[in-house]
Amino acid sequence: SVVSDTRIDEGARIEPHCVVDGAHIGARARVGPFARLRPQARLGEEARVGNFVEVKNSELGDGAKASHLSYVGDSEVGRDVNIGAGVITCNYDGKRKHRTVIGEGAFIGSGVELVAPVEVGAGAMIGAGSTITKPAPAERLTVARSRQKTLPLKKR
């Protein structure tokens, strides 16, 4: 791993093949393998950033986890949040960067796109594969995807 300009608290662990620059890794937090923490990435105590996860200018609260294949940029992630595989915070609109806020204890299903600026309330659940463009209320399930259809194939 390559680590520069980073504060690493007691008991934190960085697995092999990570790139960490300008970050703060809280006590007993785990990073990697194959993770990237860019400047202003801040991980709380016992937070987890797993394989092929990139975090930039974001805070993950105590016990929050993004275990694999995700991008978390310009975000505030509350304590004990679970970010599923393939989640993306879509923070750039072509001109400006926007923030995503995820409340404490929220569950973000796999393959979700959070289009900033957007807020997910505490204890909310976001259904897998959803594209979220509006606030998702606390303690509610929000799903934003079209229904599956099965159509006959045309012969080629």
Q: Is the four-CA dihedral 67, 73, 79, 83 of positive or negative sign? A: negative
Which residue in the list 17, 24, 68, 98 is annotated as catalytic? 68
Strands 30-31 and 48-51 come out as parallel
What's the CA gap between 145 and 98, in Å, rounded? 22
Q: Which two tokens stand for residue 156?
A: 């080629």
Signed CA dihedral, 56, 79, 65, 16: sign only: positive
Could you confirm whether 68 is annotated as catalytic?
A: yes
- Residues marked as catalytic: 68
